[in-house]
Amino acid sequence: MHFAFCFEEFALFLTKMDNGCKCTDYNDRQSNAILYNILSRADNDLPSHINLNYNVTPHRCNCEMRRTVCLESPADVCQEASGVLVKTIQFMKNLPAFKQLPTNDQLSLLQSCWAPLFILGLAQERVKFEVIDTPANSMLKRILLKAQKSSEIEREQPTMSGVNKLKSCLKKFWSLDLSPKEYAYLKGTLIFNPDVPDLKTALFVEGLQQEAQHALREVVQPLYPGDRGRFARVLLTASTLNTITPNLITELFFRPVIGQADLLDFLVDLLFSR
């Protein structure tokens, strides 16, 4: 029994080790620990509503999955991105079949497809960007701002892993070198998605998606008569768009512009404005 208990304890220890971040330098941990010890002495002086968690020592994480980043040139890139987003919503507004749908269905489709459409727009406009590490707040600053941030919604910050996934997706589209018509009909296949929940006109939307796919095939075949696999590659590449989260797009390209506002509210206003 004693041996089994020790084994379970050891397994639990290994699990904690596996779940932890292994990229932190020892010196960073030591310096953070010193700062923690200094600041923690004043814990009793902090307001009771500030709940600090010292179970994990704060540190800069360099692993790709958790390394947070931001745009290197936000002014220029955000302006380009805003232009792409406006063109994306205008494209939807100008589709007669889309305007025939009930308002609730339009809203559901907008919420489902705006991010993939925007990425297609980035690819079509050949928008390129670079990122840098997000400036890290000091532990002292985090403590002082804890009460203020507690009333705000915690948002997941862009990571290097997510950005690399986005860049990889863009490169795949650039390698395909799609024509304007290919982009247009591919956007149609993304907009009219019958799998979006609670659509009142799901069958009608499914028919529109099939029409868009047929039109895309009719465009691809004469442009590339010797490449029978191109149509399948275009659709396969388009499927990677769903691996990029709307949150990544919002936080990376638009949070510096809209602040705490909800981007979807802006898109709805843009869609139904005259």
**pLDDT tens, residue by residue, 176-206:** 999 999 999 999 999 999 999 999 999 999 9
Phi–psi pair at 21, nearest 5 degrees = -85, 130
Q: What is the pLDDT of residues 227-260, one digit of tens each?
A: 999 999 999 999 999 999 999 999 999 999 999 9
Which residues, listed in sequence order, are joined to residue 71 by a DSSP beta bridge?
Answer: 131
Q: What is residue 68's three-state secondary structure?
A: strand
What does the alpha-carbon distance between residue 231 and residue 107 come to, in Å, rounded to a whole number? 29
Locate the DSSP E strands across the chain: 69-71, 131-133
CB 91, CB 187: distance < 8 Å: yes
* Reported pTM: 0.76
